Amino acid sequence: MERDLDNANPTILSVSQLPSRSRKGTAARHGPDSTCHGIIYPQHHWPYGSSPSSDEDEDYNEDPMDEQDVYDLISTISDPEHPHTLGQLSVVRLPDIHLSPSPTELPGPESLVTVLIELTPTINHCSLATVIGLAVRCRLEQTLPPNYRVDVRMKDGSHAQDDQVNKQLGDKERVAAALENDTLQRMVDKMLETCA
């Protein structure tokens, strides 16, 4: 039996309409470190910013991450219902990514940075909003340096239950428990397969 889609006709942007600035070091990851197991059992790989120093990581310490870099990391996540990415469906939008403090105001490379992502579901009663938020959080926690804190939430008024979804996404214990659920973990891992 085929499941009905929440939004059978979403607005879809072509890849050429998406904001982009590719950086080196964003190769697709495969194997055990490409799943969200790393959220429960941390194994960090930092393609950007202030990773622990080694000769091979020196290329990544050139510039601090900015909003475009974060967008590039999450816009290629697959939607769980449609054969498109979150960027193409405008669930993830560049103006809805906020870094605090901004990259130009960072006092030092190890400064604590908060990354706020405001998601806009394709419809206001999207039943998979929490799963989408989990995938975004998973992707960022896998790829950002350890001094970056991730806050994923629904944009105000974009979801009928945005307070409830935001509470779930903001609770680290609920996120960890959700990712221990094999069905949810497989769904999130499938969404992350398209990440570059």
For the chain, what are the domain ranges?
62-192
Taking the model in full, what pTM does it have? Answer: 0.73
129: CB partners within 8 A, 6+ apart: 119, 121, 154, 159, 161, 165
CATH 3.30.300.130, domain 62-192, yes or no: yes
Give the model's confidence band at 53: pLDDT under 50 very low, under 70 low, under 90 confident, else very high.
very low
Looking at residue 28, its pLDDT comes to 44
Looking at residue 62, its pLDDT comes to 58
What proportion of the chain, given as a percentage, has pLDDT over 70?
71
More confident residue, 95 or 35: 95
155 neighbors 119 (Cβ within 8 angstroms):
yes
State the burial class of residue 160 (Cβ atoms within 10 Å of its Cβ: 0-12, 13-18, 19+): middle
Looking at residue 1, its pLDDT comes to 41
For residue range 12-30, list pLDDT tens digits in order: 766 776 776 654 444 444 4
- Cα angle at 85 between 90 and 171, to 5 degrees? 75
Looking at residue 22, its pLDDT comes to 56
Looking at residue 50, its pLDDT comes to 47
Look at 7-21, 26-40, 159-173, 181-195 and tell me which has the smallest mean pLDDT: 26-40
Looking at residue 63, its pLDDT comes to 75
Mean of all residue pLDDT scores within the chain: 79
More confident residue, 162 or 18: 162
Across 69-74, average pLDDT: 96
